[in-house]
Structure 1
Amino acid sequence: MFRKGNGLRSFNLTKPPHSLLGERRRHNRDSGIISVAYCRPTAVVRTRNRPPWRATRSLINGHNLTDVVITGNNGVIDGQGSIWWEWFRSRKLNYSRPHLVEFTDSQDIVISNLSFLNSPAWSIHPVYCSNVIVQNITIQTSPDSPFTDGIVPDSSSNMCIEDCSISVGHDAIALKSGWDGYGISYARPTTEIQITKVALQSAAGAALAFGSEMSGGISDVRAEQLYIYNSSTGVSFRTTLGRGGFVEKTVISNSVLENVREAIRFDGHSGGHPDDHYDPSEIPIIRKITLKSIVGSNISVAGTFQASKTIPSRLSASPISILR
């Protein structure tokens, strides 16, 4: 259900007809499954915190909306992403891959009681959004699916992610806020984020990632009661010279890591630049990061710190127990 202006409209994802953006959909009414085989490329997409690029429109998308509810009785939205992963690996795509859900410049959004499977790229991507609740959501993609992130808050604020299970090929939850000068000039941080009671699995990325596109800033993040399992990295902070921005006022607590190759990672040399217009003097800042009451078992590496000497960082960690 969404409202724009004085109008009120609603849609039910478990009943036809559908007016979602895409073609050749297959709908199983009895099982409550929506499968999507193909989405149409759009023209150039322009945002304020990234350079222009050509993209395929996301399955469920909206701009400048208020009061959006996407919910179901444990229904399934299957993005049929395997063909997109194949095209991505073979470099046959002229456009970036679509996400399953993407909203821009919108507020008061609730996404709940659904399973999102096999997204071509990211599953849930709010950009410049506020007052967002993601609750009781399951997200799954194949472990070898390339760069398939789960939930990606991007220059968004006042967001709650709770009671979710996410198992993906790359980052399970990734906080972002713009890329280099584009994010710096727009200066809209991702802030006031609450993450609680989530199970996270990341095959090749991090269960919980900050950056590397964080030029608009990331602050006031509270993550607790995380269960991170069978993952490449548990918690990752990524940035690089020329990125600018900051990650600060973040607390990660009361969490458990099991069978994780690398529990915590700080990387000051992560990610490239969208073009040659970045300013190498824009130095990112990582500060006021607190990790506490975290227990890990069967961890290969407790922590990796690859920060540049020119990137200020401050970490507080107590108590943490890591067992091999």
Structure 2
Amino acid sequence: MKILIIGGTQFVGRALVVELLSRGHEVTLFHRGKTGSDLFPEVESILGDRDSDLDRLAGRKWDAVVDTCGYYPRQVDASCKALLDSVDRYLFISTISVYADRDNNTLSEDTGTLHPAMQDADDLSNETYGPLKVRCEEVVREYFGDRATIVRPGLIIGPHDHTHRFVYWTVRAEEGGDILIPDTEEPITGIDVRDLAAFQAHLLEQGTPGTFNGDNPGFNWRDLKEVLANALGDRGKLIAVPAEFLVENEIRVWTGLPCWTNGTVGQVPVIKSVAAGLTHRSLAESFRDTQTWAADCGLKRPLKAGLTSEREQELLDKFQNS
């Protein structure tokens, strides 16, 4: 297959390029060249900004396009319009943040989404991210109908993760010493970027239409604590603190203590996705590979997410002396 990827040089797109090339597909990248410009020298790159340079794709034909970085409806509308007659399938990477209530056990891919943002909305924040993606999904379906495929991943983890959310725990275990963790066994919404890439490739190869969640029901804090303990060995202990302590000390979910949501984010069903070809690797494998990558990169605290060394020690002292 000939596949165009909008993006493709940072994290989600990077893993997809690797997966597609391993399957023998012909890949074209459309990106700004601001990150990973030296990656994939064997792949055709068309440099340009999706806001102003879509005309550089004119006159070309691909079997499919994968949009890894569509955040605003106006952007997605423009790319759909430009590619309507140039691609057979439009695969859009959305998010589970489109769901209004992830604790609803009747949730499915066809129900329960947030009210969509306006077409011209351009204010991206934690509050607007979900509604913006809802409208982006609608735009793709309006243009492509049964030629549209939507994938809604949870927290994406694995090597090359520039957000450092899951990476924080691998770096923390590598560092050693007592580690502050939440006292919980709650589920963790997340999927390894390589499993997500393999699922996208499979959907493209099969020409599968529809909307699919990308999550791993096997991810939870019980297993993450076990993985952390094994990685830490005798170089320290896990110090579990209650949610009340974290809230009182203004530790934010997601970024303050990565993967901790204090029950605010539930997992989404993946029965439909598994039936369509989604497979999962273990949390231990994701952790090990991410830790190896982070160590090779020399990543150390402070990171983009998680506690600084000083803040963690301050919290440990406060908890142990309370």
TM-score, shorter chain, exceeding 0.5: no
Higher helix fraction (1 or 2): 2
TM bucket by the smaller chain? under 0.3
| TM superposition score normalised by structure 2 | 0.28
* Higher RCO (C-alpha 8 Å, min separation 6): 2
- Give the number of the structure whose alpha-carbon radius of gyration is greater: 2
| TM superposition score normalised by structure 1 | 0.28
